[in-house]
Amino acid sequence: MMREALRLAREAASADEVPVGAVVWETASGIVLGTGRNRREEDNSPSAHAEFIAIEQACQAVGDWRLNHCSLAVTLEPCPMCAGLIVNARIGRVVFGALDPKAGACSSLFQLTTDPRLNHRVHLVSGVLADEAADMLKEFFQSRR
């Protein structure tokens, strides 16, 4: 699933968006329920993050806002907005690639998805294809300088 998220991230970069891609799938069956890539510039929306789009698609696909039975793969550690959505959607597992030391809300700056004070905690798997995801982000931002 991370390979598909990386493909979506490349698609985002081709559209001059920050290269982040996300996939939500039903954990047991492997059926993909939602995909997304960053679209903030295209949609003129601060909420058009890859995770947000993929989670909304998945909720529509299953007809429920609860995604306990689902996993999310995303190329970059989710930000506070997306981490909050992950908790609120009750996603069971998040697999992410590169750490985000400036805005990461799963382990780098905050630990929203595992905070025991919240009503849901997420199983995290970090560092999956992290170098590939980080390299794509570095190349994108270097090309903009």
The residues that are catalytic are 51
CA dihedral 42, 79, 90, 67 (to 10 degrees): 30
Distance from C-alpha of 142 to C-alpha of 87, rounded to nearest angstrom: 33
Return the DSSP state at 82. H
Distance from C-alpha of 145 to C-alpha of 143, rounded to nearest angstrom: 6
Handedness of CA 83, 87, 89, 94 (dihedral sign): positive
Distance from C-alpha of 113 to C-alpha of 87, rounded to nearest angstrom: 6
Query: Given the structure tokens 């991370």, which residue do they identify?
Result: 2
